Amino acid sequence: MNPPGRRRTGKAHHCPVASGRLDNAERRAYGSGVAPPLTTYTCKLTEAQGKDLERWVRRHDFEFREVPYTRFAAARDKLTVALYTSGKLVVQGRETKEFVEFTLEPEILKQVRLGYEQVLDPSLRVPRFGVDESGKGDFFGPLCIAGVYVNGAVIDRWAELGVRDSKHIGSDRKIGEIARKIRETPGCVHTVVPIGNEAYNRLYRTMGSVNRVLAWGHARVIENLMLQRHRMDPLPERAISDQFASDKATVGRALMSLGREIELIQRHKAEADLAVAAASILARDEFVTRLKRIGEPFGLEFPKGASAVVDSVAMLFVKTHGPEALAKVAKMHFRTAFRAQGLPEPPRQEWRPTSRRPSAKP
């Protein structure tokens, strides 16, 4: 039975396990607790909702095309949208899930309907950790890694909260509001490991790469969560994080004693998982808070990211406070740090795919 307010045809958004329509890659993904991607979605729109959607589509660089029996049909990148004269909307393509979650539901349907996917895919309610970081690409400010434990009850409480990848949330204020609600959710266990700039620069010098620093931070977060297992019911079955290194063993090698007791799943775009999305919000909220705090003694509001604006602020900072102070507020392996100090930039390393040894012939 469909949830109230959501109508679907029998074919679209079918349960791939029940229907038996899984290819080998999807079977492996589903068996490992990773839901196969949603590539088709249908629902019924009212007249007003149809007009709202068409206006949205026209504002966002879709290419319109003629399709019989439709009010309009349009495509962009990996997404196609067709609204039929009957009011039936069909969304298809690899970006279907993101479009439904971040555009159709909040802006057109005006209702977040988290939960139907949990009926189709019980793995979405499995007790688990989500881990994510913020600040990796920001010259100023710390690196913050957060972890969150969720279970079915926590997910139910977040149904109307708007928890999603922090990059899709428009303002720091909104991130702060959702972060507070995440922390206040009964049953949600969370931790944040902030790595201040001086500690970050020491770790980078010792470890030699950003990925190793990230791996240590992820491992530390998982260990901190495992130390709080007495607060978790039921116990977590796995930990999920974004795959930031080409070699998954980078994080595996960094895991500490308790962290080795839990299955670790790394995948690209892991923020699509609710637990990882919540961790991304807590990590970003911590980063934004600390970035503001480290600028206060200098009477500055440090910009985020890495850009020409960041370059100009860094140069002014070094001119005013000296290069020694820069290491207290910035990540010194960034090229911005060399430019700000008037030093020659290190040569760029050409990226090369990891070569594989040929398999031995039988």
DSSP 330: B
CB 218 within 8 Å of CB 241? yes
**Angle in degrees, CA 339, 342, 344, rounded to 5:** 75
Question: Per the structure block, which two tokens stand in for 219?
Answer: 């491992």
Condensed to tens digits (0 to 9), the pLDDT of residues 14-53 reads 333 333 333 444 444 434 444 456 788 888 899 999 999 9
Tens digit of pLDDT for each residue in 204-232? 999 999 999 999 999 999 999 999 999 99
What is the CA angle 63-64-68, rounded to 5? 145
Average confidence score pLDDT of the chain: 84
**Of 303 and 114, which is predicted with more confidence?**
303
User: Domains along the chain?
Assistant: 16-122 (3.30.310.10), 126-290 (3.30.420.10), 298-340 (no CATH)
Q: Is the pLDDT of residue 122 over 80?
A: no
Under 8 Å between Cβ of 140 and 315: no
360 band by pLDDT with thresholds 50, 70 and 90: very low
pTM here is 0.68
The whole-angstrom separation of Cα 333 and Cα 204 is 8
Kindly report, residue by residue over 272-327, the tens digit of the pLDDT: 888 999 999 999 999 999 999 999 999 999 999 999 999 999 999 999 999 999 99
Distance separating alpha carbons of residues 266 and 249, to the nearest angstrom: 10
Give me the DSSP letters along 94-115: TTHHHHIIIIIIIIII----TT
Of 236, 72, 223, nearest to 145 (Cα)?
223
In whole angstroms, give the CA distance from residue 188 to residue 182: 7
Contact criterion met (CB below 8 Å) for 195 and 203: yes
88-92 vs 128-134, strand pairing mode: unpaired
Which amino acid is it at 278?
A
Q: What is the DSSP letter of 230?
A: G
d(CA 28, CA 21): 13
